[in-house]
Amino acid sequence: MTQPSSIDLQIMWNRLIAVVEEQATTLIRTAFSTSVREAGDLSAGLFDRQGRMIAQAVTGTPGHVNAMAESVTHFVREIGVQDMFEGDVLITNDPWMGTGHLHDITIVSPVFRKEMHIGYFACTAHVVDIGGRGFGPDGNEVYEEGLLIPIMKFAERGVVSKDLIRLIRSNVRTPDQTVGDIYSLAACNEAGERRLQAMLDEFDLGDIDALSDFIIETSRKATHEAIAKVPDGSFSHTMQVDGYDAPVHMEVRLDIEGDTLLADFAGTSGMSKFGVNCPEVYTRAYACYGLKCAIAPQVPNNSGSLEPFRIIAPEGCILAARRPAPVSVRHVMGHLVPDVVLGALHKALPKTVPAEGSSALWNIQISARPSDPASNLPGSEILMFNSGGTGARPALDGLSATAFPSGVSTMSVEATEHVGPITVWRKDLRAGSGGAGAMRGGLGQIIEIEARDGYDFFFNAMFDRVQNPARGRDGGGPGAPGKVELADGTELRAKGRQLIKNGQRLRLSLPGGGGYGDAKTRSRDAVAEDLASGLISRAQAKSDYGYEEEQDNDHD
């Protein structure tokens, strides 16, 4: 066994990315839930024996990956290495120890080589049902939101806990699907370990300590160097978002000095009595992501590159919720966090960050039930991930119907309809929803859903940017606000459980992203192309951009 050279370490670092990507691919191939196999709402990574994340799969969301970077250390502390054995599989969905809400199950598998503990593989996925009220914001305590699994062993020395399986199956509406996803998560870690062991055999290594130290130190140094290039100073920004029963004030101050950066969310609104609260681990995950995207995008994501970004929020605010606050739809506030921190960073680095976007996913959880309770028709739980438009960038238009910052994929209509008795009648871009600007904001979309014959459905609304649309930057216009209604125009609430009866059609109009720069300076060709493509109306071309088709044609 020889000490690896710096070249060997760099080669192995690159190989680790392939290892964890195969880990994630295994999860996608074997998962039961559409949220995992269709949308990629997951994370996968390798951790050293200290619990530091050294590699993450490209497939996955920042909320899962960056939160999981903290959660593995909780497993190490709670279980203890002395009580971990080959074949063990650890589990939790504790929102404060995992990734922010009960629907995310995190599995950690300790890795041994020649009977010596060398690290961990970990992965997280969103399961469609975990019991309780279901995926929605109506709960008043976390106890109402579903089954909480503390940090414990799912399997010990390769033997799965039958009692835990029985407990889970007895508390969820979709027992086969939920338990199947847990086994998929465990299989995902097994796939990663097989590839890691093969790599260590190839390089004749007994552990990953030297590789881990190389990755962490190299990434930490590169991130500090990137922060040092940002001008020193304190930069503040505020944003108002819809909340549930009252608007939420979000506020951040960035203190940058040399190669250090602190983001402080003091001044942010207190906790809500509804499930839009966000545990601080999730706030840190998305604040780090937004800052890293702008400041150090080329540095690989691991504990070393995350550590230089110090994120704090006052305990008890909506972005640092205390137990037992309801947190089911913590993603709504969490996905808006990058807009807040990027707004502050814009004052330090102008012409760098995008305008505000729709940001928070327009997820919809549907519970289809027979219209006649006496019928033998089965019920079903259906989850759809949908996205509005992103904010325009300094030199490019925003992206339409694209998930930023979460990065998940939109589920196909066919896959969604296959899961339960609904028909998606419409799913297209929402013309005119992108904010006007020299660079136009991305468009939202319009979606119409109806229950099939014999069924009604309840849906859990968890939508934002309805009362407070995405703002433009440097003179750009706001994106269009979202709308929740029936196809006949009857207005519905943007948050909470509501009934859609058979024959009624739910219509979701997703918000657009904000524009960037003065709309009057937008290229005439770009306006003409938007008009020809149906992305804006003639009225918008004239009022927002000063463009009149006949007049401009006369100049050609």
Q: What is the mean pLDDT of each run of 10 residues along the chain (556 residues)?
A: 80 92 92 86 93 90 89 95 96 96 97 96 94 94 97 97 97 95 96 95 93 96 98 98 96 97 98 97 96 95 95 97 97 97 97 97 94 90 94 98 92 90 96 98 98 96 97 98 97 97 97 97 96 95 88 51
Residue 83: the pLDDT is 96
Phi-psi region of 146 (alpha: psi -120 to 50; beta: other; left: phi over 0): left
> Where does residue 487 rank: exposed (0-12), middle (13-18), buried (19+ CB within 10 A)?
middle
Give the C-alpha distances (Å, rounded to integers) separating 18 from 14, 72, 301, 304, 306.
7, 21, 14, 19, 21
Contact assessment for residue 211 and residue 12, using Cβ atoms and an 8 Å cutoff: yes
Contact assessment for residue 112 and residue 123, using Cβ atoms and an 8 Å cutoff: no
Q: How many CA atoms lie within 13 A of 498 on its CB side?
A: 17
DSSP state letter for 554:
H
Residue 36: the pLDDT is 87
Residue 555: the pLDDT is 47
Q: How far, in Å, CA of 70 to CA of 124, rounded?
A: 13
- What's CA 327's distance to the chain center, in Å? 14
Residue 2: the pLDDT is 66
Residue 556: the pLDDT is 45
What amino acid occupies position 5?
S
pTM of structure: 0.94
For helices 280-295 and 337-348, give the axis angle rounded to 10 degrees: 40
